[in-house]
Structure 1
Amino acid sequence: MELLQCISDVHARVTYDYIEKLPSSILFKKGFVYPVFKDEDNNWLTTDEDGEQHMIASNVADVIEDPWCQMHFRKL
């Protein structure tokens, strides 16, 4: 387990539809700390503000090596 702090709000996005719900819901809030867990395939999982599970990094030994994760979180 690792702890990550969100450095910018992460909003829900619907990639398969052109109509977005406004305002979009916030999955991860800036300043909040989230525990992340690595699975057997080196994917890193955490839960959002609604308790839903998300993969925030994939195929990396260290969670902060993932570019998307670097943009939204910092390792504590």
Structure 2
Amino acid sequence: MELAQCIRDVHARMPEGYIEIPSTPLLFKKGHIYPVFKDEANNWLTTDEEGFQHIVASGVERVLEDYWFSRHFKLL
């Protein structure tokens, strides 16, 4: 397990694309800390503000190797 701090708000994506729109639900809040766990398939998971689980990095041994993760979180 790692602890990660969100460095920018993360909103849900629109179903038809990869665009994050501020009017969509807020999943992770800037400044909040989230526990991040790795599964057997090298996916890194955490739980959003409403208690739903999300993959925040995938296919990497170390979570900081994932580009999306490093744009939205930092490890503590």
Tell me if TM exceeds 0.5. Answer: yes
> How many residues end up aligned between the 2 structures?
74
Structure possessing the higher radius of gyration over alpha carbons = 1
CA offset at residue 22 of structure 1? 6.8
Once the two structures are superposed, residues 23-62 of structure 1 have per-residue CA deviations (whole angstroms, 9 ceiling, x without a partner) of 2111000000000100001100000001000000001111
Map of 1:34 onto structure 2: 34
Q: CA RMSD in A?
A: 1.9
- Which consecutive residues of structure 2, in runs of 5 or more, have no partner in the other structure? none
- Which consecutive residues of structure 1, in runs of 5 or more, have no partner in the other structure? none
Q: Partners of 2:73 and 2:22 in 1: how far apart?
A: 24
Taking every aligned residue pair, what percent have the same amino acid on both sides?
Answer: 60
Helix, strand or coil: the match of 2:30? Answer: coil
The structure 1 segments of at least 4 consecutive aligned residues displaced by more than 6 Å after TM superposition are none
When the two structures are superposed, what TM-score results if normalisation uses the length of structure 1?
0.89
CA gap 1:9/1:44 in 2 versus in 1, 3 angstroms: same
Question: Is the 8 Å Cα contact of residues 11 and 22 (structure 2) preserved in structure 1?
Answer: no
Q: Partners of 2:62 and 2:10 in 1: how far apart?
A: 21
